Amino acid sequence: MCGRFTNEMTWADLHALYKLSDELYPVARSNMQPRYNIAPTQVVQFVHLDKAKNRELNKGRWWLVPFWAQEVPKATMFNARIETIDTSPAFREPFKNRRCLIPADAYIEWTKNVDDGGKDPWLLYLPEHRGFSFAGLWAHNDNLGVTSCTIITAPAVEHIAHIHGRMPVILEENAYDAWLTGDAQGDDAKALLLDNQLDSELQFHRIGRAVNNSRYEGSDVKKPVVNPL
């Protein structure tokens, strides 16, 4: 699962990761702000291919709204399970034709504290806290005027399964083009994701419970808890 994530990537970081054009994104270049507690339904950045097959930076609601929907779905749409993305009515069309990459530098999961019953948040990140991309899907609904996206999840790798049984797919940079183009379909596309994920590299530590409030945006979110309960 991925229910929250953080993104302190600068324009220079995005430019280096996605090879974006400075000339095409002057506003993005000047208005990049760090975000420490991104929650479902909030607006996030994502990268997809435009009609000319160039990488395009876009923004949308993190909670997929299918192109055919008559209203914003109440069902959970911020994650798409890899097992069913090719059969789910909400996800099968974007899985074929509208794939994206969602930039981040960490994500947050929770475990239940056996002493007080509270939710203990964990920060999961790559070595050196380097930026990365979740594999995702996106959609545009003309009727509602909504652009949106979702993060693909898979069963957790062994060393983080004690935190949560599922994890977002974090894709290797050398697989970006193969994912975005859509040349691989069906089971081949799923294998592409599973064979090129970086999740086995994830590191983690406990962080403070202030992040449990989705409105909390303090820059101290990533700090380890010195004496966890």
Give how far Cα 181 sits from Cα of 33, 61, 184, Å: 29, 22, 8
Backbone angles phi and psi of 174, in degrees to 5: -70, -5
201 burial type by CB count under 10 A (0-12 exposed, 13-18 middle, 19+ buried): middle
Q: How far apart are CA 47 and CA 103, in angstroms?
A: 8
Say if CB 4 and CB 107 are below 8 A apart. Answer: yes
Taking the chain, what is the end-to-end CA distance rounded to the nearest angstrom? 24
Measured CA to CA, the distance from residue 229 to residue 63 in angstroms comes to 33
Give the 3-state secondary structure of residue 12: helix
Q: CA 227 from chain center: how many Å?
A: 29
Kindly list the catalytic residues: 2, 109
Which of these, 3, 1, 103, lies nearest to 60 by C-alpha position? 103
Helix or strand holding residue 167 (H, E): strand 166-168
Alpha helices, DSSP H, located in 19-158: 26-31, 92-97
Provide the H-helix boundaries in 98-223: 176-181, 186-195
